[in-house]
Structure 1
């Protein structure tokens, strides 16, 4: 896998004690679709987990944006979708929204496991509320990822320990607000633009990442500043940093 950070251990990836990290079990196969906007990362994951005879994982398709994801998912009806959070076209949450009927299929449900570089609480909670069965970061090892895929295909929930804490905190109290009220004012596209701007991307770079025009980026930034009652890009960056969105 093309990552330089220290890999998670089996325990950190949420694996239960006594379960093997690999997924192959008496010839069982799990059909998987990879959704990530970085082609090289998809190739790395495919090379790591797609050795079907060894892992039991059969990668049946891949996609780099929301529309491609829906086309592939609907055509292949995989057991599990490995889903990045930040995608052109509306993000992982939009894929989950459009996939609600497939997730609700009682005979052949499509289940989702978020696989993202982000460990921001807002990202984790957003995709779990959208219907994902788990969330692991891209520092996970190949073997542990295979184990997570098999567990999600069985209907289990899989999280890295710290990410699980976010979810437990969010759902522990019925009195807790379901989402950040300020963030709730923003559309999914505005949130994507907000994150990229706060990370230091120029407008042209944001436009390229999201496949939109520079003028559209400017419009989204203006809308974000207005909705959040902020004056400039520097205030926006501080606001996003304070909420761990960067």
Structure 2
């Protein structure tokens, strides 16, 4: 093993896709095992304890829970092993189900090899990663109101600061946030500075981890 490489288990029921994915992953990652069913996936994760599991959401076996069932079968390992869903599906139900189960992110199979490699590295480092369109499903599902009731840190933020915080934590640039919210990039920068100060965070990476821990992404 090359020092610094990230161990990965690839879970997908299509052998051709697994082969192509392994070939596309860069040298920072090492595939230590593959699996094609719920039962084999749980066994592989438990045997190898990888840093990240690339997990399809629809899998044969188990009791029909697919990727979410794999995560449930490894729930005691979530502190050290992180799950990144990788699927052809961009359905809101699939996204929400696997994130609710404990996945740290969800990207679609249209992603490039370089992008998925970067996503794995980010997830291994504690970040949450979503394809931009899918992040909205998670936000809609978990909402702010329910979280704010139990997390008084959110009460420190204004409604606009909360909007900016979500987008920045999801990986949007200042210009993209400005375009999304119809405000200037300078105003976005001002809001980000205020958010970091109020939450006592140092940078956007800490903000992403903060938001992910509260399932606000």
Partner of 2:12: 36
Q: Which has the higher helix share?
A: 2
1:68-87 residue CA offsets vs partner (Å, 9 max, x unmatched): 10111111000000000000
Partner of 2:68: 93
Which whole-Å CA distance do the structure 2 matches of 1:175 and 1:77 have between them?
A: 33
Normalising by the residue count of structure 1, what TM-score does the alignment of the two structures yield? 0.56
In the TM superposition, what is the alpha-carbon distance from 1:47 to its structure 2 partner? Answer: 1.0
1:81 to 26, 32, 53: 53
Unaligned runs of at least 5 residues, structure 1: 1-25, 177-246
Which whole-Å CA distance do the structure 2 matches of 1:62 and 1:174 have between them?
A: 40
Whether the aligned pair in 2 keeps the contact of 1:80 and 1:149 (CA below 8 Å) is yes
1:47 counterpart SS class: helix
Runs of 4+ in structure 1 deviating by more than 2 angstroms, as ranges, are 173-176
1:113 to 80, 84, 88: 84
Which whole-Å CA distance do the structure 1 matches of 2:122 and 2:28 have between them?
A: 13
Which whole-Å CA distance do the structure 2 matches of 1:30 and 1:84 have between them?
A: 19
Which whole-Å CA distance do the structure 1 matches of 2:45 and 2:107 have between them?
A: 20
Unaligned runs of at least 5 residues, structure 2: 148-217
1:57 to 5, 8, 29: 29
Normalising by the residue count of structure 2, what TM-score does the alignment of the two structures yield? 0.63
Whether the aligned pair in 2 keeps the contact of 1:27 and 1:56 (CA below 8 Å) is no
In the TM superposition, what is the alpha-carbon distance from 1:175 to its structure 2 partner? Answer: 5.7
Give the alignment's Cα RMSD to 1 decimal: 1.6
Which whole-Å CA distance do the structure 2 matches of 1:175 and 1:157 have between them?
A: 20
Q: Using CA pairs under 8 Å that are at least 6 residues apart, name the structure with larger relative contact order, 1 or 2.
A: 1
Partner of 2:122: 151
Aligned positions, number: 143
Whether the aligned pair in 2 keeps the contact of 1:111 and 1:133 (CA below 8 Å) is yes
1:55 counterpart SS class: coil
2:77 to 99, 102, 109: 102
Structure 2 residue 109 is matched with structure 1 residue 133? no
Partner of 2:186: none
Whether the aligned pair in 2 keeps the contact of 1:84 and 1:92 (CA below 8 Å) is yes
